[in-house]
Structure 1
């Protein structure tokens, strides 16, 4: 790891390894909270969102009592949060009649009548019910993510929260996909019913409906190569996201930025405090102007505020704990110097195992000359 790869690279796991033993508990918490915020849209308004805000705004490590109080709030709020998410999803898929998902046969005016479009409506109902169930699971998993923020802040917190976020995000994606399929199948059913209302061959029309259902259920089929490529893309995206978070919290891990006390004017500190408290990162460009007015000439600071950092293709995704905000508020602490590297263990030659006959015994007939 060198300064260039830190400033412009996308291997977040390598970057984390480089600084892991030097991050403060607050930095671990802020990095973990940044991941929890990826599930913000899954969480309804109330204690679960408030918990993330509270964890981010804390300037000192949370006491065991405070952590326990918030864990109780999270657990108490979960049933209502799940119910609210399920109710909202139910409204989205209401036209697909999710409550009919378990109906095995059509309700017909004449028992011997064939309803060729029924498989489409039945599948729409099934997908609608799944959409409701899976969004409830996503909320429950998201609440588990929030709970992690109220454990002791250290490296294990981030290690635990990252896969939990991916799991909850996956459930959210499944729920949204099921909702889309439900509405699509309902629409297909309506059109199919209109199209086949007067056909004589009901069996053929029903087979057509079943084929539509099969295609929707199976979705786009992917080969093993496609699956491997998709997994690689997810891994690269995860590493890239971690790199962004670390750069946002640490800044330059090799060259701490210069910040003169004279630049910390009332305007600068008020702007920075407002950005931090309100997560109003759109004001970062205004902060850059205020710093310029205070005669700030540190290019790294000004570029970070304006999103024009050299060598970085995408603008920063600011989070609470942004190193510029911390500098402006007098809270930024450069990383401690790296600890001395451990001496690598001598590599063992595999041939040693083959020719290792153990120590000589006193009664061995063979003697070395």
Structure 2
């Protein structure tokens, strides 16, 4: 790891290894909260969202008593949050009749609809029910991720929350896919019922309906190569996300930025505090202008405010804990120097996931 790879690279795992033994408890908490906030849209208004805000706004790690109080509040809020999310999802998929999947006859919305279309309505109903159940699971999993923010801040916090966030996000995606499928199948059923109302060969019409369901549910088959590529893509995206979070919270891990007290004018300080408290990151450009007015000439600071950092194509993902805001608000602390003799962990050989190399030593693994 060198300065260039830190400032422009996408290997978040290597970056984390480089700084893991030097992050403060608050930095671990802020990094973890950045992941929890990815689930913000999956959480209804109320204690679960308030918990993320509380974790981010704490200037020092919460006491054990405060953390326990928040855990109780989160646990008490989960049933209502799940119920509200499911109610909202139910309203979306209501046309697909989510409660009719197990009854003998479909609920038909048009007088001329006929039995051959029943497989489409039944599948629509089943997907609608899955959408409601799935969104409840996603909210419960998101709440489990939020709970992690009230454990002891440290490496284990970030290690625990990342897979929980991915799991909740995947569940939400599946639930929304089921909702889309439900509405699509309901529409297909209405059209098919109109077409088949007067046909004599009801068996053929029913077979057609079943084929429509099969094609939608099976989709395009994926080969093992496709699955492997998709997994690699997810891993690259996760590593890139981690890199962006670490850069946002740590800044330059190799060279602390220069900041002159004279640049902390009343306007600059007030604007930075507002951005931090209200998450008004769209005002970072205005903060850069205010710093220029205060004669700030530190390029790294100005570029971060403008989103024009050298070597980085995407604009920064500003977070509570943004190193520029922390610097202005007097809370920034540069990383301690690396411990003498510290060596990075060797990169994992991907084949280790498939083979136990020790047990296969001297053997042909493909025999």
What TM-score comes out, normalization by structure 1 length? Answer: 0.91
Distance 2:20 2:328 in 1: 24
Q: Is residue 2:273 matched to residue 1:264?
A: no
Aligned position for 1:67: 67
Instruction: Tell me, yes or no, if the aligned pair for 2:114 and 2:196 is still in contact at 8 Å.
Output: no
The Cα RMSD (Å) is 1.9
| Equivalent in the alignment of 1:337 | 337
- The structure-2 alpha-carbon separation of the partners of 1:342 and 1:2, relative to structure 1 and needing over 3 Å to count, comes to closer
Match of 1:145 in 2: 145
Give the Cα separation in 2 of the matches to 1:331 and 1:219: 52
Match of 1:358 in 2: none
CA distance in 2 between counterparts of 1:106 and 1:316 reads 51
**Which consecutive aligned stretches of 4+ in structure 1 deviate over 2 angstroms post-superposition?**
104-108
Contact 2:100/2:107 (<8 A) preserved: no
Counterparts of 2:55 and 2:245, CA distance in 1 = 16
What's the CA shift for 1:219? Answer: 2.1
Deviation at 1:343, TM superposition (A): 7.6
1:237 match: 237
* Structure 2 runs not aligned, ≥5 long: 345-357, 363-367
User: SS at the partner of 2:321?
Assistant: coil
TM-score, with normalisation over the residues of structure 2?
0.91
Larger Rg: 1
- Measure how far apart 1:195 and its partner are: 1.0
- Aligned position for 1:178: 178
Q: Distance in 2 between matches of 1:104 and 1:230?
A: 40
Q: Give the structure 1 partner of residue 222 of structure 2.
A: 222
Aligned 8 A contact 2:97 2:107 in 1: no
CA distance in 1, matches of 2:24, 2:104: 58
Q: What secondary structure is seen at the aligned counterpart in 2 of 1:270?
A: helix
Cα deviation, 1:150-177, whole Å, max 9, x if unaligned, reads 0000000000000000000010000000
Could you tell me how far 1:103 is from its partner in structure 2? 1.8
Q: Could you tell me how far apart the structure 2 residues matched to 1:107 and 1:90 are?
A: 16
Aligned pairs, how many? 344
Shift of 1:36: 0.3
Matched, 1:321 2:321: yes
Q: Which residue of 2 aligns with 1:304?
A: 304
Could you tell me how far apart the structure 2 residues matched to 1:342 and 1:309 are?
A: 29
